[in-house]
Structure 1
Amino acid sequence: MSIKSSGGGLSIPKMMEPPQSSGSATGNPRNKVALKPGHSLMDWVRLGNSGVDLSGVGGVPQNVTISQLAAHNKRNDAWLAIRGKVYNVTKYMDFHPGGDDELMRGVGKDATELFNQVHAWVNYESLLHKCYVGRLVYSDSNSGPPIINKANNLIGKLFIKKDKCVTMDWYQQMSSINLQFFTRGGIPQTRVSLDKELTVSIRVGGMSHVTRIVLEDSVSWPCKVRTNYDSGKVEVLLNKSQPGIWRSLGQQQHNDSTDKQDTMFQPMEIVYISQVTHNTKLVFLRHKKCVLDSFPIGSSVQVQANLEGEEVVRSYTPVVPALHTDLIASEWRDYLCLMVKEYAKGAMSRHICSKTVKENLTVGHPVGSLSSLPCNTHLILLAAGTGFTPMVQIIQWGLGRKKLVSMSLVFFNVSERDIIWKDQLDRLANSDSRFTVTYVLSAPSDEWSGKSGRLSLDLLRELQLANEKKLDNFVFVCGPLAFNQLAQKLLGEINYTDDQFYIFQG
């Protein structure tokens, strides 16, 4: 049985805009055929929420074999499979913008390839959620009517305890496995490890969920983790060692418990070091075993070292290796990247920056994160020096939101040579019109043509960041303590309330 996240009715799928065609009865130029009145997308949503059994199986997911799927190949009895899931699309025929003839091309078969060719952008899981019949199995050894998947049904029962914090589903393709974890809001922190079994640990909302799976077959490493911070959905993508269809995912165990932050430190190997500025390095680390951490926005890791007989612990913000995906090598997927500025009196920073490739650092698990993310359409980032590091994730998350209208980074440094990733920031500003960056230097060279000075009320007003017009603004701040305190004071003077800004404390 597929285990779905609790709540809600059918959500409206988000689609890319295909080329326009001739007009239709719905008034929507995207439709390829004229739909009958009362058959718009909103009408389909209402039908799904009306209580009508669109699945035809009473809402009880079934195992469906290839031959059983093939038997449902008629206009008035139409099933199709997409990515290992079988849907009854009989009722959807009259609502399909491409017409029933187009939909019938995939009926009675695995329509994954056809779907990917024509509708890869469509959120079919939301669109056909109420039509879900069950999982497609590639064996006809059990003849007869579809049966309830007892193994998964047992797993479903494990989640009926108290308030389940995470539910899970999965699907497969010939060469890959996709595990989907649905959290109940908040910002999830995920760790995936692979040994004799696959372990996925998700922390969210003060709870910890652990899934352990003895996989049916082998997979390659590293995996890939995708987190949707708006929905709380976590995807773990694994490549199969050998292409083929698995009969099942494997033996599974799920446990929920109150989250206890793990302070255990582990050695990580330095695999690469990149010089970012004259005094700042990007240090790439990797676990000794197959472990991948997905770092939530606002999280940090602690680095521990024994320096001159004293145990020293310092926190650092993980960053991605680069702002642009074409600059990130695929083998860096399970790396931890720390941007470290070397200070003359900083024992830990000097210790880290003195390290070389193949040496170890002692690192703790990720801790902390933002409790929630703002929904505002205008984001302003005030960063000073290495206070830029938490802004890296904010930039990636913000520009990934379709509702974002603008993002303004104001980056304060001493001189030109102190600016982190200037080329990448300029490239981003040139490629995405929503993003702007302003550099402000306190001790610029004579050749500097940009802004100079320090954070001030006049500067914020000059940059049109004041909130007199009550725009839908939200401000993130990170820098030295004095910078943060001044920013908090100035934001209050230009009409920002406490719920309109967040200060990362170093």
Structure 2
Amino acid sequence: MSSDEKYSAKKHKAAVCPCPLKQGTDREDIQETIDSVNDLLHQDKLSQKQTWQIGKRLKKVIDENPDMEKSQMMDALFLWGTALARLASQHDDVELANAAIDKFEEIDRISNKEANALGAVGYTLWGSCLLVLAKEQQDNTLFSKAFEALDKATELDDGNKFETNLHHAKALVEVGDFMRYPAHEQYLINEKPSSEAECYYERALLSCENLERLYQTQVRERVSTGENSDDEDTITEEDYAQVELLRAKLYASIYDIDSESFEKVYRQYKTAQDLDLRSDVILLEWIRFIFSVLTWGCWFPSVERMDTIIQEVDGMTQSFLLSNGFDINAYQDLLESETANDSVPHLLHLLGELIVSSLLKQSRIQESAGKTHFDRAQKYLFVAHQFDERLGCYGLARLYATPAFCDETKCLQWLETAESYGVLEDKELELDFQHIKKNDWFQSFLGSIENGNNRSPNKSGSVEMAKRDRKVTLAPGYSQLHWMRLTQSGRDLAQLGGKSPRKNITIAEIATHNREDDAWMALDGKVYNITPYLKYHPGGMRYLMMAAGSDGTALFNEYHAWVNGHAMLAKCYIGDLELASTLGHKAEIGDSVALNTTAWRPFRLFSKQSVTKTACKYVFELPESKPLGLCIPGQHLELRANIAGRVIERAYTPVSRFNQRKFFELIVKLYPDGLMSRYLESLPIGTEIEMRGPKGSLLYPAVGIVKREGKIQQRNVEHLVLIAAGSGITPMLQLIRATFESFQDHRTTVMLLYCNRTIQDVIAFDQLEALTNMFPSRISVRHIVSEDAEISTKCQTESLAIRHGRLDDSIMHEFIGQFVGKETAFFHCGPPAFDADVEKMLKSLTVSDSCIYRF
């Protein structure tokens, strides 16, 4: 029996065993797992978490039964690849696509390239994953391999399977787009496709005709028989909607857009949407087409037609939101519960941008329905921004630049927000803001960008943002580049006269240095002489003087939270702030984060729970749903408590996400003589404890970059070796999360050596195991336990293993020797004696001091 008979192209029906099973055998247990996974795959959609669980279960079956029957091995690999491929195609995820391809290639190897081993479904999924890689890498060879797989699928089902034909048609469009827009060039309306691209588009249209024939034939059969079959081969209206969507995209690519062709493409998108009202993909593509016509087209709809279009698309959007349980007026509840559909913010963002474009392009619409459209756009863009900081901000800046609703202050505020999140990098500002491009304040803003000015994000929104004066243009010779040259000139900018930096500088002393010719400022507990920097400040001298003679940390974090001020002012360093002079400071009104770097602030204990025999998780409340204030891997916070008459301070790294609101979590290891850990263990729920932060001089601020004391130590890091003991795992978890949640990082590998007494003492065991199942080629975890005499082999795999003993030179050489001499950063964290031993062992492996980092 071939695989395409075993599995449904749409629902991946359970495999049928070729012979009866005997009760109580291992084979029966294996088949039970395979059938159970098939039941999961039978669902219409799988979440990423469910896909991880499938991979974990199948990986365990394969690892524990290396000698299972060939047919069952291929079934398990097929299901695992299917789950990964479906998610990879849905999200264009290169890592998942690679993982799925690995499974299909293994089936091909085991079966000696027998075509029926994969069947039409397998080759279709394989080809779809190759397409994901081809698009990412813009590689003709990968496109060819994808077509080979898809052609094979079509050949195996005689060209009569809807699913395989649909994938083949989509592939033709992808290649056509690649021929037309190489290297991700911007999409342009009315740009004539090349002859090669047009050839692929025409072939795709023919495929759509064939798909329509298959659908209509099935519809006629159902009408003639009176049966409404719901088996796995039934082509539903939702399935056929994908064909009509493909047609709409092809028409938009082929036609020169004028009034007639616009209406044809518009109706085609609407036809697709009517067939599947719950499809966010169709709705997004439909709005994107209209937006592209308004933004880049040579022809625009009339005012009346555009008003009708916005109302129709807005109505479709409202229906979609309601069907997904999204009440835009109660978005805050969804934001806190994190239950909103991932596509909703993008849909609101794109619809808001569309309305803004209509207001900018057609001035007469502002006189009739303009205010209604303005209010809609403002709401949609603002809500989108609350869910994703990169969304909405640029559209709001454009909205406040429209002639009828121009608000220079709000426009500038949202431009600054967009700049801080890197949204402006691919924008044509003078084109998008041509109504105001000659205004002095806008030209000043453009000048500040050229001077390298960075501003902090402000999520408070357009209504609550504080009023700001217009920016100034720096005098010639006072750009950030000129400042960097000055810092390298050897001049005594701190004016220490050759003396060492001071200790315990009080706030009172800093307050006496508050003039333009004598200005000091405290930042994160360090004191700087900012006098020589005043004229170089991108926002102007007047704004920096607001912090002169005081602790400028809160003001700096409000405007420049993403700028490394310590590196900028390193040559102006005078000494350290006496922290006693800052104790007792209360949170300032308007602070955008919960923590303060110098002032101790109270946080209420919400709950606590044991996670191992020797570690406990503490959940603390965040005030007003503000984020905690940590934003870079490597940062930590400090806790302070009065214990038995002594003030005790300890540093801990939160294990929750940086942007998490309402609560944050700490995991603390319990030590018999640990004052703070025992104090926390006895702390009643509802009690407050003081904290401050962020702290930390060792940071991993971006992909492949390691900073220490504000200076870049390594660039282009490709491998992270993490060595932890006990609760030293917590900063490592932040590094791991940053690596695997990054949209820019698809290559960095992680090797974690985690040392504990017993396997029961391992913190976040399930989390680490899930990561090794999801990214087996990128992360390896080695648990080193000292007191377990017998280690179970059930949970051990190539990516995750448990070793009995203590960390020594031989274990270090075995597991991390391969990374020495490569682009590797070595991080370690644990008790002092452990850290000292690790550094000695690393040096014995000839690891350079410059690549070794201790948290």
TM-score (norm 1): 0.57
Superposed displacement of residue 492, structure 1: 3.0
- 1:44 corresponds, among 175, 185, 191, to 185
Change beyond 3 A, Cα 1:255–1:364: closer
**Separation of aligned partners in 2, 1:408 and 1:134:** 48
Instruction: Tell me whether 1:278 sits opposite 2:613 in the alignment.
Output: yes
Q: Structure 1: which amino acid aligns with 2:845?
A: I
Residues 286, 335 of structure 1: 8 Å contact kept: yes
Instruction: Tell me whether 1:459 sits opposite 2:800 in the alignment.
Output: no
Superposed displacement of residue 15, structure 1: 4.9
Instruction: Tell me whether 1:484 sits opposite 2:835 in the alignment.
Output: yes
- Root-mean-square deviation (CA), in Å? 5.5
SS at match of 1:319: coil
Superposed displacement of residue 321, structure 1: 8.3
Name the residue aligned to 1:140. 370
Q: Structure 2: which amino acid aligns with 1:366?
A: P
Name the residue aligned to 1:268. 603
Instruction: Tell me whether 1:336 sits opposite 2:664 in the alignment.
Output: yes
What residue ranges of structure 1 are gaps of 5+ in the alignment?
Answer: 1-13, 49-73, 95-104, 178-183, 190-198, 209-253, 323-329
Instruction: Tell me whether 1:442 sits opposite 2:793 in the alignment.
Output: no
Instruction: Tell me whether 1:292 sits opposite 2:627 in the alignment.
Output: yes
- 1:150 corresponds, among 402, 408, 424, to 408
SS at match of 1:302: strand
Q: Structure 2: which amino acid aligns with 1:418?
A: D
Name the residue aligned to 2:693. 365
SS at match of 2:617: strand
Change beyond 3 A, Cα 1:278–1:444: same
**Separation of aligned partners in 2, 1:277 and 1:34:** 52
Change beyond 3 A, Cα 1:298–1:107: farther
**Separation of aligned partners in 2, 1:498 and 1:361:** 38
The number of aligned residues is 370
1:183-228 Cα offsets, whole Å, 9 max, x none, are: x9xxxx9xxxxxxxxx9676233349xxxxxxxxxxxxxxxxxxxx
Change beyond 3 A, Cα 1:262–1:91: closer
Superposed displacement of residue 134, structure 1: 5.3
Please list, as runs of the form range in 1=range in 2, the aligned pairs for 1:27-426 lying within 5 A after superposition: 30=171, 32=173, 35=176, 39-42=180-183, 44-45=185-186, 75=257, 87-89=291-293, 109=310, 140-141=370-371, 148-155=406-413, 157=441, 164-166=453-455, 203-207=561-565, 262-295=597-630, 296-320=632-656, 333-368=661-696, 370=699, 372-373=701-702, 374=704, 375-401=716-742, 402-404=745-747, 406-426=749-769
Change beyond 3 A, Cα 1:169–1:30: farther
Residues 379, 474 of structure 1: 8 Å contact kept: yes
Bigger fraction of residues in helix: 2
Residues 456, 561 of structure 2: 8 Å contact kept: no
SS at match of 1:463: helix
Superposed displacement of residue 266, structure 1: 1.9
Superposed displacement of residue 364, structure 1: 1.8
Superposed displacement of residue 456, structure 1: 2.2
Superposed displacement of residue 92, structure 1: 5.9
1:144-186 Cα offsets, whole Å, 9 max, x none, are: 97665434345454966675322659899xxxx9xxxxxx9xx
1:413-439 Cα offsets, whole Å, 9 max, x none, are: 122332212233223323331322211
Larger relative contact order (CA 8 Å, sep ≥ 6): 1
SS at match of 1:462: helix
**Separation of aligned partners in 2, 1:321 and 1:145:** 41
**Separation of aligned partners in 2, 1:165 and 1:489:** 41
Q: Structure 1: which amino acid aligns with 2:669?
A: K
Name the residue aligned to 2:771. 428
**Separation of aligned partners in 2, 1:37 and 1:292:** 41
**Separation of aligned partners in 1, 2:173 and 2:664:** 47
Change beyond 3 A, Cα 1:432–1:42: closer
Superposed displacement of residue 46, structure 1: 11
**Separation of aligned partners in 2, 1:85 and 1:43:** 17
TM-score (norm 2): 0.36
SS at match of 2:807: coil
**Separation of aligned partners in 2, 1:426 and 1:284:** 23
Superposed displacement of residue 297, structure 1: 1.2
Name the residue aligned to 2:392. none
Superposed displacement of residue 39, structure 1: 3.2
Bigger fraction of residues in strand: 1
Q: Which has the larger Rg?
A: 2
Residues 605, 687 of structure 2: 8 Å contact kept: yes
Bigger shift: 307-316 or 289-298? 289-298
SS at match of 2:683: coil
Residues 384, 483 of structure 1: 8 Å contact kept: yes
**Separation of aligned partners in 1, 2:459 and 2:685:** 38
Superposed displacement of residue 383, structure 1: 0.7
Give the % identical residues: 20
**Separation of aligned partners in 1, 2:410 and 2:289:** 14
Q: Structure 1: which amino acid aligns with 2:693?
A: H
Name the residue aligned to 1:473. 824
Name the residue aligned to 1:58. none
What residue ranges of structure 2 are gaps of 5+ in the alignment?
Answer: 1-90, 95-126, 144-169, 190-255, 267-282, 299-305, 322-341, 361-365, 375-401, 416-440, 465-479, 481-523, 525-556, 567-589, 705-715, 794-801
Superposed displacement of residue 284, structure 1: 0.5
Superposed displacement of residue 496, structure 1: 2.9
Residues 261, 367 of structure 1: 8 Å contact kept: no
Residues 86, 135 of structure 1: 8 Å contact kept: no
**Separation of aligned partners in 1, 2:653 and 2:184:** 47
1:128-148 Cα offsets, whole Å, 9 max, x none, are: xxx997596995149997665
Q: Structure 2: which amino acid aligns with 1:400?
A: E
Residues 165, 207 of structure 1: 8 Å contact kept: no
1:231-283 Cα offsets, whole Å, 9 max, x none, are: xxxxxxxxxxxxxxxxxxxxxxx999xxx963211221111101011221100
1:30-75 Cα offsets, whole Å, 9 max, x none, are: 4527759973143735999xxxxxxxxxxxxxxxxxxxxxxxxx92
SS at match of 1:372: strand
**Separation of aligned partners in 1, 2:816 and 2:602:** 47
**Separation of aligned partners in 1, 2:345 and 2:665:** 34
